[in-house]
Each structure stands twice: as structure tokens, then as C-alpha cells.
């Protein structure tokens, strides 16, 4: 999807991630473009919605000299991202491609959890839109193609688990519910990744405990007639 206005693009990506429970990818040019994502990034952080922001950047020699579309993009989103990575300029070496793959895996993992949220990858380029003369095939191109054909060789995969209550905590809650004359369940915002599971679990608990459910619209656990 191409969204010209960056602020609108940020919230489009936010909505996609909220409904799919998968990290959406935001891509923009260098300079202040990425700063327009800030409201959506904060919303994603507070709502625990997975999002990946990929910003283009200018090379180091154009920093702090008044070059167009150039600002300091280091830690652009402050503490509102789960992880931030800053890539150097593209390098025609297999080792660099392996590193990019490793960073990509870590970035996606950090966005998905165990506390989902936005992540930021800043990628610098040197004159990426100007024509470049090509004379024959470079040796490194064969290395890159061979590496892309074996994605499993680019590094280990990392999978984050979701937090769960201990057996003691579950037993203590069950005892308090059994000893209570009335039980009220207050449901707040639900993370997209847990929405269907939370709906089923909440329905089972409310019926088993004969509880009263108070659910706000963003909880996605409102129950119909019994």
C-alpha cells in the first residue's frame, strides 16, 4: 500500500497490525518523514501492537552539514520501541547479508513479543537513486544468490514465548473465586496476538464462575446471550 502522508500511513499500518496480529512494515525516506510516524509508534507501544518501522538514512559524511533530507535518526523513537537497529551502508559481502538476516530475525522477534510493540530499523544509503554504470557480473553477486538460496544458513532463529501464570497463581485465584459470593470480571484492551484465545478463555471462566463480565469495546471479549 502506498500512502503519501506519513502520519496517515502510520495509522494505516497500526490498523493492519491490530487486525492481523502480525507486524506491519512501514517504509519511508530519510529526514523528517520518519518523525511523522511518531504518534502511531507511541500508540503501538502503549497498545502492544507489533510494528516494524524501516527508515532510509543518509551516509555519515552528510550528517550535521545541512544536507537535504538529513537529520539525526539515531534513537528516533526514543523509549517507545522494543528494539532499534542501525544498519551501515550496503556492503557487497556475504557476511554483511548474513548480518542483515540476523538483524531482521531479531527485529521481527522483538516486535512480536513477549511484549509486542514497535521496532525501528534505520538503513543508510549513499546516493541510492542515481544511475550506476554496470560492467559485467561481480563475484559477490554469485555469493549473494547462493546465500539467498539457503536462508537457513543466515543464522539461528529466535522465538519468544508468551508469559503465563504459574500454577500457584492459578490455584490461588481459583481458591478466591470459590470462596467469593460474587465475581466480577473487568476486561480491558486485549493484544491482537491473544484476541481469539482470550475470548474463549474469558467465556469459559465467566460461565464456570457464574461471574459478571464488564468489557470495554477494545477487549474483544464481550459475550453474547448465554
Q: What is the pLDDT of residue 207?
A: 85
Is the dihedral angle over the CA atoms 86, 83, 12, 10 positive or is it negative?
Answer: negative
Q: Give the pLDDT confidence score for residue 63 in this predicted structure.
A: 83
Do 185 and 205 touch, CB atoms closer than 8 A?
A: yes
Q: Sheet holding 51-57: strands in order across?
A: 24-28, 51-57, 118-124, 83-87
Say whether pLDDT at 225 is over 90.
no
Q: Which residue has the higher pLDDT, 225 or 14?
A: 14
Count Cα neighbours of 160 within 13 Å in the Cβ-side half-sphere: 15
Residue 51 forms beta bridges with which residues? Answer: 24, 118
Best-predicted range by mean pLDDT (21-30, 92-101, 163-172, 206-215):
21-30
Per-residue pLDDT at 51: 95
For residue 52, list its beta bridge partners: 25, 119
| Alpha helices (H) in 60-212, listed in sequence order | 94-112, 139-148, 167-179, 195-209
Whether 170 shows a pLDDT value over 70: the answer reads yes
**Share above pLDDT 70 across residues of the chain, in percent, rounded to a whole number:** 80
Alpha-carbon span 6 to 27, nearest angstrom: 10
Amino acid at each position: 500500500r502506498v500512502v503519501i502522508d506519513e502520519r496517515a500511513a502510520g495509522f494505516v499500518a497500526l490498523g493492519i497490525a491490530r487486525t492481523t496480529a502480525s507486524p506491519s512494515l512501514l517504509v519511508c525516506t530519510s529526514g523528517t518523514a520518519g518523525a511523522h510516524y511518531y504518534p502511531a509508534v507511541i500508540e503501538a507501544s502503549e497498545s502492544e501492537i507489533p510494528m516494524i518501522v524501516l527508515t532510509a538514512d543518509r551516509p555519515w559524511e552528510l550528517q550535521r552539514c545541512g544536507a537535504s533530507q538529513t537529520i539525526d535518526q539515531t534513537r528516533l523513537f526514543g523509549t517507545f520501541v522494543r528494539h532499534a537497529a542501525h544498519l551501515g551502508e550496503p556492503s557487497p559481502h556475504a557476511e554483511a547479508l548474513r548480518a542483515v538476516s540476523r538483524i531482521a530475525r531479531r527485529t521481527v522477534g522483538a516486535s512480536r513479543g513477549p511484549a509486542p510493540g514497535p521496532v525501528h530499523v534505520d538503513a543508510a544509503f549513499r546516493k541510492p537513486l542515481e544511475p550506476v554504470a554496470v560492467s559485467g557480473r561481480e563475484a559477490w553477486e554469485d555469493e549473494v544468490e547462493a546465500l539467498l538460496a539457503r536462508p537457513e544458513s543466515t543464522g539461528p532463529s529466535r522465538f519468544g514465548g508468551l508469559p503465563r501464570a504459574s500454577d500457584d497463581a492459578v490455584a490461588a485465584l481459583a481458591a478466591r473465586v470459590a470462596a467469593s459470593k460474587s465475581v466480577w470480571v473487568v476486561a480491558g484492551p486485549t493484544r491482537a496476538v491473544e484476541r481469539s484465545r482470550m475470548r474463549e478463555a474469558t467465556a469459559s471462566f465467566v460461565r464456570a464462575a457464574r461471574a459478571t463480565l464488564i468489557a470495554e469495546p477494545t477487549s474483544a471479549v464481550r459475550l453474547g446471550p448465554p
